[in-house]
Structure 1
Amino acid sequence: MARPLRFRYSPQSWSDGRVQHDILGSLQSNIGARTVTPWFKIGGGWRSHRFEMENGDVALFARTDDEAYWMGNTQTPSALWKTDKFGWREVPYRVSRWAKRELTATLHEQDPWLAEYPHLSWFFLPVFMSKDGRDSTRTFFREHAAGFPDADPRETTRFFDEFLRTGVLDDYRHVMSGKLGTSDHVDHVRMSAAMAEFIAAKILTDSGYDVVPEIEVTTGHSLDFRAESNDTNVLVEVTRPQPPQKRAASGPVAAVRDTAETKTNGQLAEHGGGAILFVDCSSFHDDAWAAVRGEQPDVRHRPAVVYRARPNGHVDGYRKGAVPLEFGDTVEFLD
């Protein structure tokens, strides 16, 4: 499975003839391709190329007299196979800005509705335009409301777009956008679990904490976040129970308990305590969440926060144990 888009770097000289032979010729012989005029100018002494494939793939190439960068959601020409990969912030600004403009314009031409959400478009661009995941990731927002049940897709997309506008996750864009995945089909369970981390980050941010994702601990595991303030530094692990089936044996209360137990007996048990467990029930329909609200089941880990968020921004839930975080008006607690 292809990963989120990154740049390939070639510390070599690329003439017009070499671009024609080693890149365009390779693409033409393998999948059919044509070179087209780039939609935007790059400037700064760089020369730019845009290649469009018969199957809808697109590739970009920027070069000077002695180096070049490649990015594409297509087959990589063999002349670039052994080149190193770099992230968006690791390449020259003019190159990354040009690539962003080219790919964002392509994304919005293919899915015009996403143009209303510029921050989300930019943040998830590495997966929205990836080789394998471009259809599934866009479909997840457009047809599955990003994992929210009984919700309008535009409202849920706006919910995440407004959060990403804050920029609090910009420094972690590659790892966080990559959590959505680049599979060629909509994996609703995994994708919803990924978005639970964004909801958790929003709750923490709205509560006044700085968030740092993917915290490595001494056991070799990584926990989802560190929440920091002037007097607070705590680790947070997020889990998202899936909506229960209609069978009584797999009701909402059991779903919460079972999912939390799996997490508690895994990463949190290895960690040895000290982390807060966030149990995100945002995938639950109203009736299922009402059952959890009514019983407020224990989740076999303390401290824990069990909650459900809605795309209008409302979050309600309950706590178990002494939670060392203050949420203000961000979460309406039942306890």
Structure 2
Amino acid sequence: MFARHHASEIHQAAPADLAARRRQRSLRGSACVSVTRKAPLPGASFGATLCFGIGAGAVVTAAERDPKALPAALAEAKGLVPIQGMNDIARDPDLLIRLSRVFGPEVEDYRNTLTDLKSVHVSVPEILLVSNMPPVGKAPPKRPEPPLAADGLIPVQYPHRKGWHTDQSYRRPPPDISLFYAVTPAQRDTGQTLFANGILAYAALPAALKAKVDGLEGLHAQPGSGRSRDAALAGRTPRAFAVHERSQRQPVVRTHPVTGERSLYLCEWGQMDWFEGPFVGLEPGPHGAGAALLDEIMAHLTERRFCYAHEWTEGDLLIWDNRCLVHAATWFDGDREGRLMWRTTVHGNPGAHYAGEKKSWIPADGLTSQ
């Protein structure tokens, strides 16, 4: 039995520097509200948490009246902004869609992108349901072994921590921004979301490793497509794909279209193609040169100095930039409690590298784009 949320409710949740000060004044002037607290994220070298002294509706209205303020704050924070106290979104999910539109011209309608409809909100199709409860039934990841790192903290570094990815990297063009909202989070100290910053990690790459990744392309595959590292290690034969399902090439180093900063962009075991990749032009497979390089890059990218672990509170909203961050889910006791999160995905500014491309994952567009 779930401790805090009934399965039947899952689809029916009721309807310091000068630049920072300027943005705060902008938000205050646009709707007579202000940020009551802005603070760096604990233990992290990137990100900033925001807390407003008003309800989510007023926050969204302020953001709509000055649509550049929050995106600018996200860029300044190098890709991660948690906003606290957004509880009203659970009663009015359209607020999440309105806020998502501040970050880009297209908020994905999951009915139109081959998404399993059991994971789509019944009345707001731009919301993806992430939950261990029926009808979604997505189990939490396993606990890592050992459950704590050598420093006594939650493990973050690959390969001790697995599951690192960036949303929908198996699509071209890939998405820009994700908004992730806690309707019913897991118990404290479980169900955290981990983030690693590709901008900081790229800047700190040793020169020899940087020379290896500049100009390199990764080959990304959709989870469940039979091309994971586990599938390759087991000797399975991957199924044939339609054109719009094919694995997609992505640059390992992306230039951010807003800030111009360079960032590492790749995933690990479950979201790379381990039969033809993980990298284009390197020996493929889980025992090849490409696998060794991916392990080296991912271990660097997920060093604790580049990471942040978010402890969820009901009503938290996290906004992150998929163009420069990877993230990973963590274990919670799915047999004893239900967790319900809402996600939106924003598209529209992947960068010049993708200029003019049609959507690879839509059958008609995918057939045209190959």
Per chain length, whose mean CA-contact separation is higher, i.e. which structure has more relative contact order (CA < 8 Å, sep 6+)? 2
Length-normalised TM-score, structure 1: 0.29
Return the index of the structure with the highest Cα Rg.
1
